[in-house]
Structure formats: C-alpha cells, structure tokens
Structure 1
Amino acid sequence: MAETIGTVEILDVIPEVDISDSVKEFAGTNGDYYAREFKKVQSSKSGYCWTFNFGSAVFGPLWATARGLWGLFWVFSLLEMVFLVMLGLGVWGELGADKFARAERMQTNYEKMMTRAETAREQGDEEGAASFEKRAENLAKARDKATAEGEIARAGGTRLLVIAILGLVLLKIFEGWIANIAYERQYSRWRGDRTVRSGLSWPIGLLGFVIIAFVYVVTLLRFTTASPPDFITEFP
C-alpha cells in the first residue's frame, strides 16, 4: 500500500518476521543453524533451495527418526537398503558361484568319461570308447558354457559395485539436501499445532537404529549370501 504526499510516494514497508526464537524453540539442538536454513527455504519462491544438512547426509534415517520425520526415515531406509544390497552382491555376493560350481562338476564327469573311454579302448571296445568320448565332449561343452556364464556374472558384480557406490554417494547428497526442506515443513506444521514432534530425541533415534539394523542385516543375509540362515528363508 502506498501513500502520496506532494510528489513524494511513501511505501509501507512490511517488516520481515524474525523466526529465530520460534525455530530455536522448535529445533532445540542447533537452533541457530536451523533458523538460518529455514529462512533460506522460506525466502525461496518454490520452497526449494540449496541447503545442506551434514547430520542427515551422514546419519540419514537415524537423523530423520531423531527429528521425528518418520516419512523421511522410511524413504531413506528403503533407498539405502537397495544400494546396500547391490554393494553386498558386488563385494561378497559370489555372483556366478553356482555357474562355476556346475562347471567344476562337469569337469569331474568329463574326466570320468575320458577314463572310461580309455578303459574301453584298452579292452578293444572301440564302439564303447567312442560313446564315452561323445559324452565327454558334450560335458566339455556344458562346462565351457557354465564357465562363460560365471565370468559374465562375476563381471556383473563389478558393475553392481560401481553402481552401488555411485548411488550411495548421490543418495547421501540427496539426504543432506532434502533434510532441511522437510524439517522446515514440519516446523510450519508445528507452529499451527504444538503436538507435532519437535526437538531432537536420542531415544527415538536409537529406536530407528534398532529398526534399520534389523532390517538391513536380515535383507543383506537374505539377498547377498549363497546360503542364508534357515530362519530367514523359512519365515512365512
């Protein structure tokens, strides 16, 4: 709104609302930091801006639970679990192990067939020797095929490892970026409803740790090991 006095136009200036004290009350620990970052978020037209929370980037789901952001906790946990499974498969997943084991069995049978062929030939049974040699030839082809498939699977493990590492790095950047934006949304809800979770709760953070530790361990055992424990595979 403007008021004109003579030739001078006087503009009403709307003072900027200082949310520092309110944010400090809401956030508790590191209140000054969140007051500064929330101002960045609120000053952006879209509600999205560059802001980075190192605590969230490092601790991810644990930070989310400690701050009461359970939706973010499940998103972070699920995405991290996907990349951790890929990482596990690439590091200790023994990709192609079943193919190499099959190739080894084929080699053993191949040697048996060749031994029988030699024995049959020594006994003057050329027809029997030829039959055993034919079987040995088929076993050799199957062995070579299984070995090749094993090598392909092993190479796939290397690709999985690279993708997993790159994915985790990008995910950590995302976790660090989205944290303050999501937390500012919670702060806005808290201003209208003081029952909304506020502050930093280490006990709840510990609960989040127990949840993800259990889920991560069970998932990694189930999908990255050749022989997962029976209690996992037999779970209904």
Structure 2
Amino acid sequence: MTYVLIPGAGGDPRYFDLLVDELHARGHDAVAVALPAADPDAALPEYAATVRAVVDTHPEVVLVAQSMGAFTAALVADHPAVRLLVLLNPMIPAPGETPGDWAAATGHAQARAAYAEAQGRDPHADIDLTVDFLHDVPADVFARMSDGPQESDAAFVRPNPLRAWPPVPTRVISGRDDRLFPADFQRRLAVDRLGVHPQELPGGHLLALSQPRLLAETLLSLTDD
C-alpha cells in the first residue's frame, strides 16, 4: 500500500516531509505530490492529472489530502488503485463548487470568527499565517519551507468538474485546535457533505508539521480497520 499525499494551497510537497519520514520508518511507501499551483494556466483538472499520473504507478493507494487538496482528491479518488481517501482539515467540496466559492457556501468566515472570539482573540482579524497556521508548529520545522510557492488564482475561479463524490471509503481527520477551520465547523461540514464523523487529533491546521508521528500512526490505524 502506498500513501499518495496531496498538499493544500501552494501545492508544496515539502509540507509532508516529516510525515513521509514517519511512514517510511514504519515500512510503508509514501509519495508527496508537487502540484502545479503557481502555474496561472493550471487549475483543478491539471492538479488531478498530476496526481493521477502518480497513482497510476502504484497498484494500491491510500490517498491523503490536506485542506484545499480535498478538491483535487475528489477528482482522483475514483481511480481503481485508490482503496481509501483520507482528508486532513479539509475543504470538502460540493459537486461543481470552486475553491473560491467554498468559504461563502460553508459559512467559514462566521465559524472562524466565532472560534476566535471564544478563545479571546479578535474575531475580525484577517487570516494571519502565524496566528492561524503556525501557532503549534515548531519554528525550525516551518523555517525549512517558508519560501514555498504561492497559489495562482486559476484554481479558485475555474470550474470544478466534480459531479458526484467518488464511491470510495472516506475518512476525515481534524485538528482539535485548528484555528483556520475550527473543529466544530469541520464536524458539521463532514457530516453534512459526506455523512462522516471526523477523527480529531490534538493540533492545528498543519498536522503533518506539528504532529507527524501521531498522524502517521492514525493513518496506519485507518488502513488496518
């Protein structure tokens, strides 16, 4: 079984370096895919084609997608090699929904503001890399990938060809301390859109950086189920 890992916005495969190491240490193959996120001519169809080319080379795959990577994963999970789809702190798409439409359609801004207020933070503050993403990530871990690529606008605005959720077993893993996509928000979205109750782990939005060992163990436990 090979774990094929799809990064979130920016498409940087280095996000999964620590998780790949943990999976390799446990005797499992893992491949992090570099998405063409900085290409202004590339959007979800091109992202999906990139991932499919990797999946094509493996007979059995667990597809793991971080955040915005769920949009790409949904377009690839019908591949006959995919045995399980695991979404990490995901932007779970509805059929035809673009990443640019997702936040308004799901009520994300309101959920994020309510969680910030409950924690005593400014509910009106803009999304901040340090506050919303890195609050539980060791500084030396993030420093190695701080110059990563930026997402072009194409993926947010070009049509999403997804017509129905693929008929593959799907699991959701949520960071209990995620400030970007609060756990309650993720739980509601996963139940409403997939009929799935997330498994919650301690940690924020970037679990592969803050909790690579625990995340690897959790992925292996899902495969063993």
Q: What TM-score results when the alignment is normalised by the length of structure 1? A: 0.22
Pair member with larger Rg = 1
Which has a greater percent of strand? Answer: 2
Which has a greater percent of helix? Answer: 1
Q: What TM-score results when the alignment is normalised by the length of structure 2? A: 0.23
Report 1 or 2 for greater relative contact order, CA contacts < 8 Å, sequence distance ≥ 6: 1
